[in-house]
Amino acid sequence: MRCTVLAGGGSLSAPVAVSGTFRLRSFAVMILSAVVVVVADHLTKWWVATSLPLDGEWPMGAPFVIRHVENRGAAFSLLPQAQWLFLAVAAVVCVYILFAGHRFGSSLYRQTVLGVILGGAASNAIDRLSQEYVVDFIDMRHWPVFNIADIAICCGIALAVFTFRPAGDARNQG
């Protein structure tokens, strides 16, 4: 399968054919980005769960600490009784990114950003399915406790909102 895109960062240069191989490669970048997020998130959660007791913190009394928390709610521990809703939202996000992510473009940057969001959503969903809670551990004292997957989701969405442009936009850089 071949599709045609304009090359040149939004300039009106001649069309360049993008092969199915490039599209497959960009999909692989998205999956690899997601796997990196899932592995980093689960390794850090494992380290916290095996190194600190529940509600334990390290270092004690510091302005920024690692605190072992079991979050049964959504972001910021909201609605702990709605586990099924969070799983459904994560599943919809993951399926949408996997099957419609190419609509955002096949650049490696865009696919990496989508992979980061996918990895964060999948990682927290894996925890909810396997243990009915998510381990959170980054405590900045003035903000709810969070984890690597939460960072990936928030940063990925912020990057997408502020850098993805519609396909026909002349300012499209990604």
Catalytic residues: 136, 150
Instruction: Evaluate whether 38 touches 123 at the Cβ level (below 8 Å).
Output: yes
**What sign results for the dihedral spanned by CA atoms 122, 124, 127, 129?**
negative
Q: Which residues contact 21 (CB under 8 A, 6 or more apart)?
A: none
Q: Which residues contact 65 (CB under 8 A, 6 or more apart)?
A: 57, 58, 59, 139, 141
In the chain, alpha helices (H): 20-51, 83-100, 108-131, 148-163
Instruction: Evaluate whether 27 touches 102 at the Cβ level (below 8 Å).
Output: yes
Instruction: Evaluate whether 138 touches 147 at the Cβ level (below 8 Å).
Output: yes
